[in-house]
Amino acid sequence: MAVSGPPGSGKTTYARRLAEELGLEYYSAGMIFRMVARERGVSIEELNRIASEDPSIDLEIDSRTLEIGCRGGVVLEGHLVAWVLGSVADVRIYVTAPLDVRIRRIAARENRPLDEVYRETVAREYMHWRRFLDYYGIDVNNLQIFNLVLDTEPLSVDEAYNVIKTYTCRLLARKGFKIEACSR
C-alpha cells in the first residue's frame, strides 16, 4: 500500500494510522533516506546536498522502497512512493490540500515562520517534480495512477482517515484480501 502527497498533506498521519489499524508494517521514504545517511556516515543535510548532484542516491532509496513494497504487508509513505511502487502496491492513495493550508500546517507543526516554510516547501516540491521527471520521465502532477485522491483540507483528521480506511478496505476486499480490522 502506498500513500503519497506533498508536504503538509497528512500522508504520514494517515499512513501510520492505516498501518497500525490494519496490522501492517509502516515505512516512510524519509526513514529509508535516514538509513542511507547513517550507513554512509553523513548527516541528512549532507545526504540531501549529495543527492541534489548525484542521482544514484534517489535511485538507491527508490530501489530500497521497491524492495520493501514487494515484501507485502506494508504501508509505505512518501512524496513519490506510489510512482516507485507502480503496480506493486495494491492500493495507491494520494492526499493533498491547497498550498496555503499545507504551509500553515507545516509552520504550526515545526513552529516556524510562514514565509520561511513557504519558500522551502515550494523549492522542495519543484525539486522533487524536476528530479522525478528527469530520472524517470514521470510527471508527479499526473495523478492517474492513484486509486484514491483526497483533498484533506475540508475534513477533520478523523473524517479524512475514515474515507481513506473505508475506501482501502473495500478495494482490498475486492482484490480478495481479508483483513480483520476491515470487518469491524
State the average pLDDT over residues 85-98: 94
**DSSP character for 88?**
G
22-68 pLDDT tens trace: 999 999 998 998 899 999 999 877 888 788 788 888 889 989 999 99
Does the annotation flag 165 for ligand binding?
Answer: no
We report the CATH number of the domain holding residue 71 as 3.40.50.300
Residue in this structure with the C-alpha cell 554512509, named with its chain if needed: 40
Does the annotation flag 156 for ligand binding?
Answer: no
Does the annotation flag 12 for ligand binding?
Answer: yes
Does the annotation flag 11 for ligand binding?
Answer: yes
Does the annotation flag 5 for ligand binding?
Answer: yes
State the average pLDDT over residues 69-89: 91
Does the annotation flag 43 for ligand binding?
Answer: no
What φ, ψ does residue 147 adopt, rounded to 5°?
A: -75, -35
The total number of residues written for the chain in this structure: 184
Does the annotation flag 176 for ligand binding?
Answer: no
96-152 pLDDT tens trace: 999 999 999 999 999 999 999 999 889 888 877 887 888 788 898 999 999 999 999
Does the annotation flag 9 for ligand binding?
Answer: yes
Q: Using CA atoms, how far apart are residues 45 and 51, in angstroms rounded to an integer?
A: 10
Residue 11 confidence (pLDDT): 94
CB 91 within 8 A of CB 170: no
Does the annotation flag 13 for ligand binding?
Answer: yes
User: Which residue range is the domain that position 125 belongs to?
Assistant: 2-171+176-180
Tell whether pTM > 0.85.
yes
- How many structural domains compose the chain? 1
